[in-house]
Structure 1
Amino acid sequence: SGYTSIDGKITFTYTPDKAGELTIQAIYNGEPNKYLGSSKTFNINVISGLSTKIVIIGPTTTYVGIEETYRIELRFANDSLARINTGIEVYLNGTREVVVISNGVLELTITPENTGTYNLTIIFGGGTFDGLKLLPSKNTSLITVEKRPINIELKARYTWIGQNIYLEVEVRIYDEVLDKPVNRGYILVYLNKTGTYELIANKTIVNGKASLSGIFDPIEPMLKIVYIDPTGIYSSGETEGAYIESSELTRIPPPLPEPTITPTMLLLILTITLLLLHKKKMNSF
């Protein structure tokens, strides 16, 4: 019990000795012939420590073989950082590891090896901060891992060798995520001259490139390149183009045929030569 101040307020302190719901009732008895009595009840939830939460900051979509960094923060309920050093549990698809969070922060790197959904779960088991008890907390982030996209460039040119067309094709494959040549997998090369694609070559990718050459019929064929990655890191892709109609192609005109002398032509030349010699001899007399 106590007395109010001149402004009608009363203040008191109380330290709960256990967690749970605490009921506080304030009763004013009133004054005879002056004020009626009244009462008010308050319910307070008493917790056993300070609430905490785990915050995971990082991409939720990434690619196979790409290292990603995730920032793990231990915060209080008001979002301020809980600057403590303590061990926390890290689960990646069920595999457990205990790591130390420093000053309330952890930098975690993950390099996924396969496609699919990765489950990243962080658990703080509780602790103390400035003598106050910290309650446990937990958070989970689902990370989608996809194959890395590629870009296929097809360059081709043809030249004449004798009366035949000699085709040269170069294929370049780039990793769109890292912007560098792909160094794995192979390509399938298809040629379409009659409305149906037919496999004509299987080439391994070396330093992001593959090439082939040969003599082909010059009837405006279509070329299609299909990239395959057996390791599953890169997405399969394909491209096609009419290489004879392409503006990038260089066409060297066929050489002119070499002149040939038939026996009839040789006899005619010989006859004309003899007649000219005979005429010259007659004119000399």
Structure 2
Amino acid sequence: MTSLPTLFRLNGSSSTKEQIISILSHEFPLSAKQIFNYVSKNSGGVSYQGVHKALQELALDKVVEKRGREFLLSSNWINSLNTFSGQLKYVYSNNLSETLDNKNFVFKTIHDCDRFLIESVVKIAGSLPTTEKPLFVMHCRHAWVPLFISRTEYRNMVESLKSTDCYGLVKSEAPIDRWCCSFWEKQGVKVRFVRDIATLSDAYALGDYVIEVFYSPEVRQEMDKIYDKTKQVSDLNMDDLFHSVFEMETEIAVTINKNKLIADQIREQTLAYFK
């Protein structure tokens, strides 16, 4: 059995999944019974069935993998954390003006990119004056955040947008896009479908910052194919979509520039569609 330093703090308020991840971060591999024994010692009231269900869900999300009758953390999941944490460490090790002004990043998956974008938007919004809601505009090829609202990072995105006056332009009018945009409108986001935007990249403007996301041709093609063929959101298998597309290894380039002139032009262009 291999031991590593604990990555997560164990406490009674942690969810069963968090405790399993914490346990497997310092002892592995372990059987379901061994994991249950650790969890039950830390928080009373948890059942073996509850631990088993949490393990199965973590396996489905590819956070843990099963080898024989034992479980351990997925090496792919660990690698994705390493990539993402490296980017965040770079951003958060310095102040905002030193890190997000005219910077370039590359991410291996849409999911990693989304997490970084959410953190960046929250950080930029937090640096702006609080006298009024900042104007936040988005130009996107497709909309998808509401599809994964059960995932913490996407739920955080929805919550963070409530502190902004948000306008979105979406290129595609596929049923999935319409469903997602309907969700956004209920959250107070103003949305229009515009065919001639987000041709090469998605773009965001907040304060003096402009963020551009350049998805690889493979990602764009796969997304277009899925969105075009899906007639109802209920036909989607969200887990399959997430793992096959949002965790597909590729290269996604992100640029963040502090340029008031360009940010103002993007806002002006966006607001013109709402007059």
TM-score normalised according to structure 2 size: 0.17
Structure number with the higher strand fraction is 1
Larger RCO, structures 1/2 (Cα 8 Å, 6+ apart)? 2
Structure number with the higher helix fraction is 2
TM-score normalised according to structure 1 size: 0.17
